[in-house]
Structure 1
Amino acid sequence: MSYQQYEAYKNNSVNTASPGELTLMLYNGCLKFLKQAKKNINESDFEKKNVNIQKAQNIINELMVTLNQDTDIGKQMLPIYDYINYSLMQANVKNDISKLEEAYGLVEEFRDSWKEVLKQTRQQKYGDGARV
């Protein structure tokens, strides 16, 4: 598959995804950037580390902005997102892998929970054959 074909596929995936699938893509993207940032710290590539942590922060900020705060779960998630963002700032400023790993763990929990919600929603809508 050529780069242009891959980009077209990726754009089509985003353009045709449901809001729930887009949220899952955001979580996965955030995890990818955090994993890369950890690698960058270990390799002392602090410029790339900064870029990757900022990308992860942008995703967390997007999740915060789009969070429905009229619900109890939304009110409970906002401070956790805020904490993740704070942890990422600390990881970036101090090159602190433990803060990066802590943020990764929280995002991973959100991602896994969200994936399960999507799976259950599809099963209710389409039956047992649905997959995420």
Structure 2
Amino acid sequence: MGIEVYQNNSVHTASPGELTLMLYNGIIKFIKMAKKGLDDNNFEQKNINIQKTQNIITELMVTMDKNYKITEEIMPLYDYMNRRLMEANLKNDSAILDEILGMATEFRDTWKEVIRVNREQNYGNSKNV
């Protein structure tokens, strides 16, 4: 029960940037779980975790601010990730999951750096994210 309270508090007190980082971490976690399901021939686990990953990507797409130029560049990548995840789910293709895992890791690492630089500029604090 304590971990649930902590996780709940983490979400409710996180900045928008930290929430986005949590979503990227969720994508990575669920893709790894889907890969494990595939490796174990547990197709239900694979399917559930691919769907969780797709739900997170959809959430990222829905909440993107359309007023920023970067949105035009990222949106097609999110769409591509979602389509590839559908394909991975249908074909039980671990290589596609690896591809999306790589993309998600790159997004996460870039976002982590954005948060770090932003904190440094705003607070003069280089505390790790």
TM-score normalized by the length of structure 1: 0.95
2:66 paired residue number: 69
Unaligned runs of 5+ in 1: none
Could you tell me how far 1:125 is from its partner in structure 2?
1.4
8 A contact 1:40–1:49 mirrored in 2: yes
Alignment pair present for 1:43 and 2:46: no
Could you tell me how far 1:127 is from its partner in structure 2?
1.3
* 2:8 equivalent among 6, 11, 15: 11
2:87 paired residue number: 90
Could you tell me how far 1:72 is from its partner in structure 2?
1.4
Q: Once the two structures are aligned, what percentage of the paired residues are identical?
A: 56
Runs in 1 of length 4+ with deviation above 2 angstroms?
128-131
8 A contact 1:122–1:131 mirrored in 2: no
In the alignment, the residues of structure 2 paired with residue 107 and residue 87 of structure 1 have an alpha-carbon distance, to the nearest angstrom, of 13
Counterpart secondary structure, 2:67: coil
In the alignment, the residues of structure 2 paired with residue 36 and residue 129 of structure 1 have an alpha-carbon distance, to the nearest angstrom, of 32
Distance 1:22 1:84, change over 3 A: same
Could you tell me how far 1:130 is from its partner in structure 2?
2.3
User: How many residues in Structure 1 have an aligned counterpart in Structure 2?
Assistant: 129
Report Cα offsets for 1:48-89 as digits up to 9, x if no partner: 100000000000000011112222111000000000001100
Unaligned runs of 5+ in 2: none
Alignment pair present for 1:109 and 2:106: yes
Residue identity opposite 2:62 in structure 1: V
Could you tell me how far 1:126 is from its partner in structure 2?
1.6
Residue identity opposite 1:45 in structure 2: N
Alignment pair present for 1:30 and 2:16: no
8 A contact 2:116–2:126 mirrored in 1: no
Name the stretch that deviates more: 36-45 or 61-70: 61-70
In the alignment, the residues of structure 1 paired with residue 122 and residue 69 of structure 2 have an alpha-carbon distance, to the nearest angstrom, of 24
